[in-house]
Amino acid sequence: MTLRIQCIVIDSADPQRLAGFWEEALGWRRTHDAPDTVALEPPARSLEDGVAADLLFVRVPEDKAGKNRLHLDLRPDDQASEVARVLALGAAHVDVGQGTDASWVVLTDPEGNEFCILKPLTPEQNSQLDDIRRSRVL
């Protein structure tokens, strides 16, 4: 197979502003910065560098309409503190029918794109993930 995901493209009314939100939320770096397109990549030399798909913010003339067909699920170390942090950056709570017993929190970025903050992995799951990551780096 010769295909791999290079980037996830996010349509935006204001790519600079929206990329700024995600740059702060994820701690990623700008690798392309133009008025109508901004690219974010994981921190250099991090385990995700060169592995995770880039985020590319592209200016479009139309507003967002309806619920996203694709969204990001983010895994924190501490769900409550990360929800509070991204809310302070400009995120907002949204109800997409997740119910009150959901283990994830659904939010929107400043342009209304939905994303979820999941509950943290257990220590055992973290250990397994660390083993997988180390084996890929070696």
pLDDT value for 121:
86
Topology, domain 6-60: 3.30.720
pLDDT (mean) for 42-54: 92
3-state secondary structure 81-131: HHHHHHHHHCCEECCCCCCCCCCCEEEECCCCCEEEECCCCCHHHHHHHHH
Q: What CATH number should be reported for the domain whose range is 71-138?
A: 3.10.180.10
pLDDT (mean) for 118-122: 91
pTM of the model: 0.87
Domain ranges for the chain: 6-60, 71-138
